[in-house]
Every structure is written in C-alpha cells, then in structure tokens.
Structure 1
C-alpha cells in the first residue's frame, strides 16, 4: 500500500498545507530552514504511528493562535483534522475481497488533534451521509418521544444529542456507523411491532447494515496499513550505554527520549531489553556450601551454569549478527570494505566499536559525526520497521545532513535503493540530496507568512526563490561535473533546452526509436550569447563540440559571432529552424508545437490551442507569453518531461517524431 496524496492542517506551523501528490517510490520535500518540513513529516506519521511515536498534545501541537480558542472550547479538537493521507492498495492488499477487476478503491486515513484516527474507503458504492438520513432520525426520535415510557424518551434524546454532535456530510461508516448501531439497538426493545417508529428504525437499520458491509473492506485494508517510520538527524546511538542505569530509567519512567531514543532502538535492534543484558552480567550461578558432598547441588550448579552459558552465547551471537548487518549497510554507502562494526558487552556497558584497516577497534564517538549518523540511521531504521522492510513508509527528516557532500550523493543512492521496496518521503535543503534527474520528485515547502503557515507546492512556482535554491545548486553542480567528462558535447542555449532534449532522448531510447549516441553530453550555456564561451572552454580541452541554437534573433546573433564559427565548423552549428519548415524564427519548443500547446492547456491552464493552429508560422512561446502573462519555458518544459514519461513517444504526432529524428541524426553526424 502506497501513499498517493497528503494534506496537513492544524498542526504547529501548518494551518493548511494544501493537498500534494506523493510519488510511489520517493518524494523529496525541499525548503529553507523553518519552512515547516519537520512538522509535515511528524503530522503525516500520526496517521500510522509506530509504538515509539509521541502522542499528539493540543497544547503544544496545535498552531499557537488556535491554542486559546481550543482551551476556551471555541474550537473542538474532535473536529480538527491534523493529517489526511490517501493510500492506494496493491493487488495483494485487496486479495480475497471479491472486488471487481476494474475497482479503483482508496483508503483515506485521518489523524485528529484529539488523538483519534479514522478511516474511510472511497471508490466503493457511494456511502450515505448523516444528512441523507436526517428525516428518518427526526421521525424516529419524534415517534419515540411521544411514548409514555421514560426509557423511550431518554433513548430518543440520546440519539438526538448524538446527531447534533455530527456534521451533515459525515459518512455513515466506521466509528459513526458503530455509534448509530448502538443507538438503534438501544431503541429496538422500546417500541411495539407495527408502530410508526418501526418503519423509520428499519430504514436506518438497512443503511447501517450496508455501511457495515463496506466497513469490512475498510477493516481489511486497515490491517494492511504500513507503519510510518520517522527518522530525524538528531537521533543518535551512543558509543557506550550503561545497561543497568538505562534499565532503571526505563523502569522508573524517567526516560529522556532526546537522549535515550537511539540507545533504546539499538537494544530493540538486538532483540534484548536493557534489563536482560544487564542481568546477564550478574546472573552467573554460584556453588552451594555443600557442593563438594551434595550430588543434587552439583547437578543444580551444572544445569544453572549450562543455562547461563547458553544465554551468554545467545547474546554473543545476537551481537555478532547485528554487527555484521550494520557492517554490510555501512560498507555499501561508505565505500570502505576495511570497516567493521562490532557490538560488545563489557560488564554493564554495551559498546559500539569500529575497526578500520589498522584492525584496532575504537568507540563510535571517535569517528566523524557523519559516520555516527549513518550508523544511527540504519539502527533506527531496522528497529522501528521491525524488519518488515517491504511495507514501512519511511519519513526521513534531513537525512545525511552531517555527511560530506560526496557521501550525501552516495547516501542518495542508498535512499533510491530503499525506495525500491519502501515508499520514502524525505526533507532536505542540501543540493547534494537532490539529483538533477529527480526534479519531478520534488515538492517545494515554503512559509512566506506565519499567519498563512506552511504551504507545499507540487510545481516549482513559489513566492520565495530561496526555497528552490537547492534545486538550482543541484542542477549547477550536475552541469559543472558533466562538462569535462564526455568527449562529445552538445552545447544548448538553456536549461529548458536540456530538459526537453533529455526527455525526448530518454523516451525514444526506451521505445527503440532514434536517439542521441550514448556518450553525448548536453551542456546548457544559460543563454544564446554564452554558447560561444562554453564552446571555447570545451574545445580547449580537446573535446568535440557542436552547438544548437534557436532560429530566433538571439540565435542568429550568436551564430554570427566570429569566435563561434572559428571554433566550430559550419556543420557543427545546428539551428532548430533546419528541422521544422513552417515556423519562422523557430525555437526548440516549436519542434513539439502541437503537443506542447495541448500540455500548456491541460496541465498549466494556458489555453492557446486555437491561436497556435490558426497562426502556424508564429513561434509557440510568443503566442503563450502574449496570451498568458505567467507563461514560462521552465514550467512548460517540466510539464512536458512529466507528460512524456507517462505517455511515451507514441503520443507525439508524426511531424514531431520526424522533427526529433531529423535533429538527433544531425547531432550524431556533427559529433561523429
């Protein structure tokens, strides 16, 4: 079961985040400090919390401006949703339910400020709301109130009061259906057969029975709900844990979660409590005073000693196994096969030790903070998910924050690997935790005004440009790294050219169509005027270079620069207009003119399809910008990349496929 969408409300700095889509494998929440990223994850976790999740407390978790109204009773915590998550069940989740093959059901989970959690199944026969049965309830209570029995009147008043506490749109399902059933059951023995009340009671009874049938589907799906595992950068495993003191803090209820959380997770990972490990050090049997002469005492001692040695062996094996598992995880990310993690008990101390190529074990705190964080991550991950790694939804708060930039890139690969079996949502403000090929996975988190609170944007159109700085930096780093690693390079004018060409190339390659040769790198210069500078840098490294320029005025000016045609032969200066015959001053977008016009209308709300069709020689972007002031190449290219990934090259029209074939052939020939 995977999260499809989420919305957070009434929680800390979040008034209403707005509903945002969640990718099936990995979703990245990007934003500056204090934007509300942590609050988003913690609210979402409340939908399916692990046993260690702190209980919600309205005094501390409600938005500050609402606290006094809640205290005074002006706001009802029971009616204040904190997080609503829509989940899509897998085929295994609905097996045995007898649903139609074309059924499209969803499990909608809601966590409330009062601490309760409710669920609703959508996609089944529309559920009846309380507003739909109001007349039956009113008539039933009216009929019961007219009876002489005080019990009947009291039961009618109870049903009336309960109905008043509920909303018109509340569906009769789950807890609501159970409560209505209780009221109906209390009324049943209080009226005679054939009375007016009986007909109204029967009508409500049939509604509840139908709702209960649907509830069985909901309960089945609820049993398949995965745990939401939250992990923060601030949780850490201590290098030395005094077992008896930790056990005493547990037993007295004086646990400090900020300090002890990582320690408790390590013990959970091992499968022991602090008291069990502590007692193993002090439970060695002793010989009785008459051991030398009493055969029974000798047998008792031998049995006790054997049991004690067995417990110590069990402990040793558990520590060795856990150390081996952690070692394998760490080596994969750290890229150092000489590293070995050992877990050992020395008296009352549980130690986490690290061995490197010197073979000398040192305690964990003598390693870098980034290394300690990585160890803590894997300990908490395995402990909280209880090794049911196929199901847990992982909520990672600023993962890898203390890792070096290159280690963050390696850890990003680990996150992607985990996402193959686990849905992951993680927050970051590091450009190295966002891949240049992952922009469609990004949701931007920003808080421009605390009165409005945190907002989540699916598109990269935000009010505060600082919010998307990590994305810009990630692209910049990726581009800089790619500049000198390929022998053959195609320099294009801007980022949008890069996005469109890479999307086309990936899609056609996947479909077995015409594509760029595999070793060609696409390098955006930032503008047409900068193409010559990038070409100069690349050719100075003895690399092959071709330039692709739009056929607009800026492209004409760049193509006429003496420095450019001295660097590149004529066949290596490519123009978009050479691959489309109708449009004058064609830009890269005009190669996909019809499709982009439809995407602009359907995905971005820029409807200029008629204008584009009636003015075939006019550049597409010129039309869009003239008719839609907010139109931009960036938004359009991102929408196209996502659309093409979902629909494939078959959805393009023939002229667009031919334009790409012509362009890709020309690029390959120029760089041959």
Structure 2
C-alpha cells in the first residue's frame, strides 16, 4: 500500500500541520531550520516503527507550552491524536481482502499513549436494520410455513428472529455480535428456502450479504493492519569503520555491549550484507589448515575460505556499482574508484582502490565518500529485513556530499523510491530537481503559537522556506539557458508541465515525438518571455516562444522586440493548434475534457455541466468562477499525477490531435 496523505498534531513544536499529500514515490520537504521538518518525520515513523524505536512519551513529545494540561488531567493522552495517515491500496492489497472492499482506502492513527485507531474510507456503508426489515419479514413469511410443516409445533423462524432483533431500531447498524447472530439465523434458515423460488433465493442472498458486510469490513481491517508498511527513519547515518577487529566485535555482540559512538551498527550492517556473523569470520581467521593427509577436512577448509572470498567479492562489486552511479570519476581519470572488502585474520578491512591501483583505507577518503559508502551498506543490509515493505524517511541525506554529487545522488533517491516510498527533508537546492517542484512540501513555522505547517502547494509566508526551490530553479535555468541549442520559452511553470507531461505521453504512444534536443524554458509570466528569448537569441541559439491566445499572450506576441528577435514564425500561439470554439484559448483548453475530469476527481471542483453547456468559455474561466479557491498550479500538478498513471489513449482524440499539431509546430520552428 502507498501513503497518500498525512497529518501531525500535538507533537513537540507542531500544533497541527494540516493534511498534506504524499507522492506515490518520492516526496521532498523543504523549509528553514527550526521549521519542524525532522519532527514531522519522527511523528510519521510512529505509525508503524521498527521494534527498537522508542514510543511516544507525553513528557517529551507533547507540546511543552500545553504540558500543564496533561499534568492537571484536563487532557488525557488516550484522547490525543498525534499522527494520522491515509493509504491507497495496490493490487496485492486488494487481492488479500474481500472483493466488496476493493475500492476502500485505509486510515490509521496513533495517539499520545501509543494506542492506535484504524478505519476504512470509502467503504460500502454498513446496512441498518431498517434497510433489511422488509426482506426479513417477507423471508419469514416464506419459511415459517415450511418450518411448521417440517417440525409441527416447533419454534418458528420468525419467533427466533424476533428474539434476536427485539431491541433493534431502524437505525441499528448490522455489525459486531448483531451481524454474527443474524448470519447464524440465516445459516439455520437456509434449508427452509425453496431453491426453486428465484425471488426468495435472491432475497436470501441479499440478506446474507448484508450480514456479511461487517465481516468483510472486519476482515479487511485485520488484513490491512498487518500489511501496513514499516516507517524507517534515517536521521543518524551510521558509519562503517575501515578496519573491524572481528573477535572484539563478536564478543561485544554476544554480550550486547555495543560502542556508544554507534559505529558498531554500521559494522553489523556490513556483516549482514556479507552474509556472515562476526563470530563466523573470526573463527575462520583462527582456523589453521588441516593436515595434508586429510583430504576431506582440507576440502572443507578450502570451501569455507572460498565462500568467504566470493561473498566478500560479491558485496564489493554491488557497493562499487552503486557508488559509481553517484561518485563518478573526475575528468581525465580513467575510471571510478573500486571498493573492496578484505578479510585478513581477525581483521575485516574496507579499502578503496584508486585509478593507480593503490589501496587506500576508507577513513582516508573524503567525508562525503565515507558517508556514501556507509549509506549504501546500511541500506542494502536492511533492505532484506525491515526495509522490505517500508517507507523511508530520510532526514537531510547527503549533507557531506558536494553539490554536484548531491545532484547525482538525487537520481539514486529516485531509484530507491521506486520500491520504497521515500520522504526526505533537505536544505540543498541540488536535491530538488527543477522538474520535481510538484513533489515538494514546504514546511514552515511563522509563529510558535500556531506551530509547524506543511503546505502541499509551493507557497510560504517565510521566504527562507522557498530558498532551496529558488536556488534549484535558478541553477537549472542558468544551465539550460546556455547549453541547449534549441529552446522553447513558455509563459510559466504550469505551461512547462502541460507540454512536458503531454509530450511524454504522446512519445510513449508513438503519436509524435517532441525533439529531445529542445529545452523547455519557463518564464515567470507572458510579459517576461521577451527577456528570456532575447538573452537566448543573443547566444546564437535557436529560440521559439509559445504564448497563450488570451489578452496577456496577445500583448506579449505584439511586443516589437520579441517580433524583431524571433520573427513571426517562431512565435507560436495556442490557437494555432486549437480546434474548438473558444475564441482565446489557453494551453489548458487544449486538454479541456481531461482537465474537467481531473478537476472533479482531484480538486473536488465539478464544472462538467457548465463545460458542456458553455463550450466556447475557456476552461480556466469556468473553474475560477466556481468560487472554490481554484488554483492553476493545483490543476497542473494534478495533471502531472494523472499523466504518470495514464497513457495517451486516455486523452480524447481531439486533445491528442491538438497537441500533435502543437508539437509538430514546435519541432518545425526549432528544426
């Protein structure tokens, strides 16, 4: 199952974060120091923490300013919800629960006393006694005579039913013991139903379904509770020692006395990755070769040494490949470094072979390289254990890495999130991709009375909270402005998302292929398109601009500087690809029907009737007129999510044709 929404309340500096969405794979939390990012992750972990994680403690975890409410008894920890989440089910979850529950979502919460509550959202409502009374009466009228004929003078089914339901009212839900009692009565009554009577057979089946609804719900709750993922928080990245004395480590492990500096945890993970215990490697280091005249013992000894060598080599190759995906060689070097794990007597060594073939102990390499090695060791060691079916919560990963290494490590985080849903916090612009702004949640604390807030949209009252995003965009823009020979300048970020996401759908369906050498450059507004276009054109790059056909787009398209710089052929308008009745179409109008559905399903804004009745009215105008706080940003973000789970065939034929025309015009203008 996948975490879809979360909310934290009454935890340390957090009064109420508000509900915030969690992405399917990777979610990024940004915000200034003391905003509460770490606290959010710590609270989330308590949904289903690993066994060794400390639980909530009212003294330490309840907001200090309100702790007097606990000591005076005005607030009972049993009633204080700290963290609540909602999960969406995957195919494996649905296969494990009754079919009647396949459309549900699973909600779970943890309270300050560490008790838990769970529930099913969107589940079929439990039937009430009033909703089945008529069917029960008619069934009794059918089976009472048959029961009398079978056992004259015996208790009638209707009398037995009355003894079960005598205290029920029309609003009584059929659940718990009531559902069990009703189901038992139905089972007993089944032989009395005339199987040749289709009406009574169907009536009986519907009553059985009503009685079983609670059982299905209870079964689903029990199954889903056992399937919820473990929340694993990495806020201390344990280091692997470059030299491990095996006999000492084995002794400390057997006595459960580990180093206070937590290095032992990294060492234990390394051994787990290798498939050995410290004692096994230590014993191998002590063993002397048997006598040459004992071939069986000699073969056993050789097999043990070979097994150790092969497993050390396999682990070394795995770690080297992963590290090379991030820690690439500097220009001029023949190849990246190799990591090697070697056993020598009572010592296990982690060394790095450089391009000269020289072995260097791990601790002599940079802090960033040591961190990266330790991260992969810990992660891969735990992947077969508590990280399987786990949600990873990473607090400030990669702090020791250089900015460009962080940028490469971002792709590693993306790969990890494909199998383990990942939420991480960061201050670094290099860990936020320019195409990942829709994955960002802004965390801020403007007032300690109000506490920490988490925003699903990229908004904040604190400029410091948005700084990593501004830096990320600025860095990427600086790179893209002067590296791509072909550039399409768009009015804003939402236009960028629509073009990029739709082009990807059409490319995957082999409908049309947007030239991959074209860089999409979002300007801040239609009025600023001219500045971006002028700068790019001055570098002798090919430049085109895509403008909406609304008033702002018309004004920008008529700017003398823009016309002189690009020429009319390279000023593209949405109306050139649009085939509908809207007089001044924006880019959203090219996806009109799909966006109407997305607005209804994802934003709870239903303009289906109005859109059909007013086909010449721009879709954005329709949505804004609802007075529901509509945001173009939220709509574009919802479209990106939709595009990830759909294909070009899910667009209408008109939408596909319009975007095909648009992309062909872009390719032609920038050929």
Q: Match for residue 634 of structure 1?
A: 633
Deviation at 1:210, TM superposition (A): 9.4
Deviates more, 1:378-387 or 1:64-73: 64-73
2:206 is aligned to none
Deviations 1:23-59 (A, max 9, x none): 3332223333322222222222233323443444333
CA pair 656-286 structure 1, distance change in 2 beyond 3 A: closer
TM-score under structure 1 length normalisation? 0.72
Q: Does 2:316 align with 1:323?
A: yes
Distance in 2, matches of 1:96 and 1:555, equals 53
> What per-residue deviation string (whole Å, max 9, x for no partner) do you get for residues 550-571 of structure 1?
4455545544444433333332
Corresponding position: 1:332 with 2:325: yes
* 375 and 586 in structure 1: CA distance in 2 versus 1, 3 angstrom threshold: same
Deviations 1:133-160, CA, capped at 9 Å, x for gaps: xxxxxxxxxxxxxxxxxxxxxxxxxxxx
Cα distance in 2 for partners of 1:338, 1:647 equals 39
Measure how far apart 1:364 and its partner are: 1.3
- Report what 1:402 is aligned to: 400
CA distance in 2, matches of 1:656, 1:635: 20
Q: 2:260 aligns with which of 232, 256, 259?
A: 256
Q: 1:79 to 1:269 in 2, by over 3 A?
A: farther
Describe the shift of the 1:284–1:128 C-alpha distance in structure 2 as closer, same or farther (beyond 3 A). farther
Q: Describe the superposition over 1:141-189 as per-residue Cα deviations: whole angstroms up to 9, x where unpaired.
A: xxxxxxxxxxxxxxxxxxxxxxxxxxxxxx998xxx9xxxxxxxxxxxx
Q: For the residues of structure 2 that align with 1:71 and 1:246, how far apart are their CA atoms? A: 45
| Contact kept in structure 1, 2:31 and 2:427, CA below 8 Å | yes
SS of 1:417's equivalent? helix
Residues 664 and 261 (structure 1), Cα distance of their counterparts in 2 relative to 1, 3 Å cut: same
Say if 2:230 and 2:386, in contact at 8 Å, map to a contact too: no
Q: Which moved more, 1:271-280 or 1:391-400?
A: 271-280
Q: Contact between 2:432 and 2:469, CA under 8 Å: does it hold in 1?
A: yes
Deviation at 1:90, TM superposition (A): 3.8
Q: Secondary structure at the match of 2:33?
A: coil
3-state SS of the aligned residue for 1:490?
strand
* Structure 1 position 34 matched with structure 2 position 38: no
The question of 1:418 aligning with 2:416 is answered yes
- Counting only pairs closer than 5 Å after superposition, residues 531-542 of structure 1 correspond to structure 2 as 531-542=529-540
Q: Contact 2:494–2:632 at 8 Å: present in 1 too?
A: yes
In the alignment, what sits opposite 2:339? 341
Q: 1:307, 1:63 → 2: CA distance? A: 62
**TM-score between the two structures when normalised by the length of structure 2:** 0.73
Given candidates 496, 499, 511, the residue that maps to 1:498 is 496
Q: CA deviation at 1:377?
A: 1.0
Measured after TM superposition, the shift of residue 382 of structure 1 is 2.0
Who is 2:461 aligned against? Answer: 463
Contact conserved, 1:227 with 1:385, CA < 8 A, in 2?
Answer: no
- 1:240 alignment counterpart: 243
Distance in 2, Cα, partners of 1:507 & 1:34: 41
Specify the SS of the correspondent of 1:497: helix
How does 1:200-349 map onto structure 2 within 5 Å? Answer: 217-232=220-235, 234-243=237-246, 246=249, 251=255, 253=257, 255-256=259-260, 258-274=262-278, 316-336=309-329, 337-345=335-343, 349=347
Corresponding residue for 1:63? 63
Who is 2:102 aligned against? 103
Per-residue deviation at 1:357? 1.3
Q: Note the C-alpha offset of 1:381.
A: 0.9
Query: 1:5 and 1:264 mapped to 2: Cα distance?
Result: 35
Which residues of 2 match residues 20-99 of structure 1 at below 5 A?
20-93=20-93, 95=95, 99=98
Displacement after TM superposition at 1:8 (Å): 2.8
**Cα gap change, 1:469/1:619 in structure 2, threshold over 3 Å: closer, same or farther?**
farther
Mapped to 2, the partners of 1:608 and 1:214 lie a distance apart of: 34
Partner of 2:3: 3
8 Å CA contact 2:588, 2:595 repeated in 1: yes
- Distance across 2 between alignment mates of 1:479 and 1:615: 39
Distance change >3 Å, CA 309–CA 103, structure 1 → 2:
same
Change (3 A) 1:548 1:87: closer
CA contact (8 A) 1:82 1:111 kept: yes
Distance 1:78 1:625, change over 3 A: closer
Segments of structure 1 that go 5 or more residues without pairing to the other structure are 130-170, 178-206, 288-297
Kept after mapping to 2: 8 A contact 1:233/1:400 = no
Cα distance per residue 1:216-253 (max 9 Å; x no partner): 55444444444333223543223334556555655364
Query: Structure 1 257/44 Cα, relative in aligned 2: closer, same or farther at 3 Å?
Result: farther
**Which whole-Å deviations, capped at 9, do the CAs of 1:498-537 have from their partners, x for residues lacking one?**
2232233233334444564443332233344443343333
**Match among 434, 437, 450 for residue 436 of structure 1:** 434
Kindly indicate whether the alpha-carbon contact (under 8 Å) linking 1:492 and 1:549 is maintained by their aligned counterparts in 2: yes
Provide structure 2 residue ranges, at least 5 long, that are not aligned to the other structure: 129-173, 178-209, 330-334
Structure 1 residues 275 and 585: CA distance shift in structure 2, 3 A? same
Q: CA deviation at 1:302?
A: 12
Residues 262, 13 of structure 1: alpha-carbon distance in 2 compared, 3 angstrom cutoff: farther
Q: Offset at 1:607?
A: 7.6
C-alpha change, 1:53 and 1:625, in structure 2 (3 Å) is: same
Matching of residues 555-574 of structure 1 within 5 Å: 555-574=553-572
- Aligned partners of 1:119, 1:216: CA distance in 2, in Å? 13
Indicate how the Cα distance of structure 1 residues 224 and 616 shifts in structure 2: closer, same or farther if over 3 A, else same: closer
> Which residue is equivalent to 1:166?
none
